[in-house]
């Protein structure tokens, strides 16, 4: 409904308010007297609420403005305005975090409290963030509000926020991405959905007692959701068959190779390196270079991994931890312990810091006395 009103010329905030006002009488009347066409009912009542508000504003200002005619009665057109709303929420004038919050609010239907809990920030802070986002897009021309890559980046950001509060952001991102896949005919949309499913399938094995992080090579793979993995692989194969490779498809291909291995030592690291080469060609990302160095270390040995790591900016997150791991693989336990400790001090989360501290302690226990 918000997308419908925006398409008719309403600004985003007024459209949202009008739809919420229309839902109040809907809650009162629908249980006893449901409409024949729910969308038509909401379109008409929401538009009337918007016009009433606009006319009140006009009256207070003492001037007149022109408004479009009220929608004609009858069945609503069978069109889906969800994609317009996705693009609006991912407007290029918004920061990624603001766009993600606005998407969850307007498209996901979450309350401000739920979004705040998921992001682990006070409700007032999140309310201000959403209000600023609405003000930011107020008055902007919305005929070209955004593009699909921006929408996909916002959904990817939501997915990577992980889990918190009473809302599972990863699951919510998957739900929203399914909608985008249904609304578009782009292999990258499907690639992103496949990537999310393949990562989400490993969720149960990522942490141990007390929230302790478990790295991929130490996870209990019997806990992986094989049905979700199978769905992700099917979606990925269909996307790759379109022969329009994008970064999400390449990332999903790497995730699929990890998921395909029943044991860590069965992982096809050579093929993973090849996919990282493709991903690097698409993105030229320093994070991809870092992850590629890990894969090279597994495929060709830790010294080859360190050689690949030499071309990566040391300021990239996890650089020190990866260097520590490769030194451990070489057998330089003293250097590995020192690097794990340094990585722990620089960690941005308690779980990551604790994991790296334990790795440093493990190196010291393994040193010859």
Contact partners, residue 237, CB within 8 Å, separation at least 6:
none
Q: Give domain limits for the chain.
A: 2-61
- How confident is the model at residue 359, as a pLDDT? 96
| Residue in the structure block whose two tokens are 């094995």 | 205
Residues with Cβ within 8 Å of 339's Cβ and at least 6 positions away in sequence, in order, are 320, 321, 323, 324, 327
User: What is the model's pLDDT at position 56?
Assistant: 64
Q: Is 271 exposed, middle or buried (0-12, 13-18, 19+ CB in 10 A)?
A: middle
Q: CB 64: neighbour CB atoms within 10 A?
A: 9
Pairwise CA distance, residues 58 & 280, whole Å: 55
pLDDT along the chain (369 residues), means of 10: 80 84 90 89 87 66 45 48 76 83 83 80 90 82 65 86 67 90 92 96 90 92 95 96 96 97 95 97 94 97 96 93 96 96 91 94 90
d(CA 26, CA 63): 32
CA distance 139 to 63: 19
CA distances from 52 to 5, 14, 70, 131 (A): 14, 11, 11, 22
Has this prediction a pTM greater than 0.85?
no
Neighbours of 263 (CB within 10 A): 8
Burial class of residue 220 in the structure, from the number of CB atoms within 10 Å of its CB (0-12 exposed, 13-18 middle, 19+ buried): exposed
Tokens 């996705």 sit on residue = 86
Measuring CA to CA, which residue among 326, 321, 317, 278 is closest to residue 299? 326
**Whole-angstrom distance, CA of residue 309 vs CA of residue 242:** 33
Task: Please list the helix, strand and coil fractions of the chain in percent, rounded to the nearest 5, in that order.
Answer: 70, 0, 30
């Amino acid at each position: 409904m918000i997308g419908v009103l925006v398409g008719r010329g309403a600004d985003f905030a007024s459209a949202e308010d009008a739809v919420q006002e229309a839902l109040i009488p809907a809650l009162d009347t629908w249980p006893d007297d449901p409409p024949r066409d729910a969308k038509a009912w909401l379109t008409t009542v929401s538009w009337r609420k918007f016009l009433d508000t606009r006319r009140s504003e006009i009256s207070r200002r003492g001037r007149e403005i022109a408004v479009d005619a009220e929608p004609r009665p009858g069945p609503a057109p069978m069109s889906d305005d969800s994609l317009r709303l996705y693009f609006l929420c991912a407007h290029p004038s918004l920061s990624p975090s603001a766009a993600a919050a606005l998407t969850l609010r307007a498209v996901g239907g979450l309350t401000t409290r739920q979004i705040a809990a998921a992001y682990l920030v006070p409700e007032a802070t999140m309310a201000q963030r959403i209000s600023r986002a609405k003000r930011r897009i107020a008055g902007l021309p919305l005929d070209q509000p955004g593009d699909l890559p921006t929408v996909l980046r916002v959904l990817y950001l939501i997915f990577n926020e992980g889990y918190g509060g009473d809302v599972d952001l990863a699951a919510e991102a998957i739900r929203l991405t399914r909608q985008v896949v249904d609304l578009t005919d782009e292999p990258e949309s499907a690639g992103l959905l496949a990537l999310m499913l393949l990562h989400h399938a490993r969720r149960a094995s990522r942490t141990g007692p007390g929230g302790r992080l478990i790295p991929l090579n130490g996870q209990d793979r019997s806990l992986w959701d094989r049905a979700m993995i199978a769905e992700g692989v099917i979606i990925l194969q269909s996307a790759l068959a379109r022969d329009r490779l994008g970064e999400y498809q390449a990332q999903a291909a790497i995730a699929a190779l990890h998921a395909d291995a029943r044991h860590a030592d069965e992982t096809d690291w050579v093929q993973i390196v090849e996919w990282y080469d493709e991903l690097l060609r698409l993105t030229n990302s320093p994070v991809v270079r870092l992850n590629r160095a890990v894969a090279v270390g597994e495929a060709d040995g830790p010294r080859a991994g360190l050689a690949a790591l030499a071309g990566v900016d040391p300021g990239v997150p996890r650089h020190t931890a990866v260097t520590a791991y490769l030194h451990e693989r070489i057998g330089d336990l003293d250097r590995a312990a020192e690097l794990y400790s340094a990585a722990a001090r620089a960690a941005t989360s308690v779980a990551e810091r604790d994991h790296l501290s334990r790795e440093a302690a493990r190196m010291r226990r393994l040193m010859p006395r």
